[in-house]
Amino acid sequence: MILGLLVHLLLPRIDTITESLKTLRSLAPWAIAIAALMESLSYVANGALLQSIVTLSGGRITLRRAAVIEIGAATVALVAAGALGFGAAIYKWTRDSGVSGNTAMLTSWLPSMFDAASLILFALIGGVELLFFHRLSRVTSSALIIVVSLLTFVIVSTIVLLARHDWMMATASRTSRLVKRFRPKWSDAGLMRGAKGAAKTWRQLQHGGWIRPFVCSLMNLIFDLLCLRYAFLAAGQPLRLSLLLAGYGVPLLLGRASFIPGGVAVVEVAMAALFGGLGVPANAAVIAVLTYRLLSFWLPALIGIPIAATLQAHRREETAK
User: What's the pLDDT tens digit per position in 197-209?
Assistant: 666 666 666 667 7
Range 205-218 average pLDDT: 82
Percent of the chain with pLDDT over 70: 71
Q: Does residue 21 lie within any of the structural domains?
A: no
Q: Does residue 6 lie within any of the structural domains?
A: no
d(C-alpha 71, C-alpha 3), whole Å: 26
Structure confidence at residue 292 (pLDDT): 94
Helices 83-96 and 299-320 cross at an angle (nearest 10°) of 50
Question: Could you please report the per-residue DSSP string of 169-205?
Answer: HHHHHHHHHHHHHH-TT---HHHHHHHHHHHHHHHHI
Torsion, Cα 86 87 88 89, to 10 degrees, reads: 50
Tens-place pLDDT, residues 217-226: 999 999 999 9
DSSP, res 238: -
Q: In the predicted model, is pLDDT for residue 178 greater than 70?
A: yes
Q: Does residue 285 lie within any of the structural domains?
A: yes
Q: Does residue 8 lie within any of the structural domains?
A: no
Q: In the predicted model, is pLDDT for residue 264 greater than 80?
A: no
Q: In the predicted model, is pLDDT for residue 10 greater than 90?
A: no
Q: In the predicted model, is pLDDT for residue 2 greater than 80?
A: no
Q: Does residue 4 lie within any of the structural domains?
A: no
22-31, 112-121, 182-191, range with greatest mean pLDDT = 112-121
Domain that includes residue 150, residue range: 27-320
Are the C-beta atoms of 95 and 193 separated by less than 8 Å? no
Structure confidence at residue 266 (pLDDT): 79
Structure confidence at residue 61 (pLDDT): 92
Q: In the predicted model, is pLDDT for residue 32 greater than 90?
A: yes
Range 236-240 average pLDDT: 88
Of 16-20, 41-45, 75-79, 96-100, the range with the lowest mean pLDDT is 16-20
d(C-alpha 123, C-alpha 127), whole Å: 6
Does residue 208 come out as left (phi exceeding 0), alpha (psi in the -120 to 50 range) or beta? left
- The confidence band for 253, taking pLDDT boundaries of 50, 70 and 90, is confident
- The confidence band for 320, taking pLDDT boundaries of 50, 70 and 90, is very low
Structure confidence at residue 28 (pLDDT): 87
Question: Could you please report the per-residue DSSP string of 26-87?
Answer: T--HHHHHHHHHHHHHHHHHHHHHHHHHHHHTT----HHHHHHHHHHHHHHHHHTTTHHHHH
Q: Does residue 15 lie within any of the structural domains?
A: no
Residues in the chain: 321
Structure confidence at residue 181 (pLDDT): 72
Q: Look at residues 107, 102, 150, 121 and name the one whose alpha carbon lies nearest to residue 215.
A: 121
Are the C-beta atoms of 318 and 95 separated by less than 8 Å? no
Q: Does residue 7 lie within any of the structural domains?
A: no
b vs e for 267-289, b when ≥16 Cβ sit within 10 Å of the residue's Cβ? Answer: bbbbbbbbbbbbebbbbbbbbbb
Higher pLDDT, 101 or 5: 101
Q: From the centroid of its chain, how far is CA 215?
A: 15
Cut 0.85: pTM above it: no
Structure confidence at residue 34 (pLDDT): 95
Tens-place pLDDT, residues 271-289: 888 888 788 888 888 889 9
Query: What value does the mean pLDDT of the chain take?
Result: 78
Instruction: Kindly tell me the sign of the dihedral angle through the C-alpha atoms of 116, 122, 123, 125.
Output: positive
Q: Does residue 18 lie within any of the structural domains?
A: no
Q: Look at residues 106, 115, 109 and name the one whose alpha carbon lies nearest to residue 42.
A: 115
User: Which residues are within 8 A (CB) of 261 and not within 5 positions of it... i.e. 6 or more apart?
Assistant: 77, 78, 79, 82
Structure confidence at residue 115 (pLDDT): 86
- The confidence band for 246, taking pLDDT boundaries of 50, 70 and 90, is confident
d(C-alpha 248, C-alpha 233), whole Å: 15
d(C-alpha 8, C-alpha 1), whole Å: 11
62-71, 76-85, 158-167, range with greatest mean pLDDT = 62-71
Domain count, the chain: 1
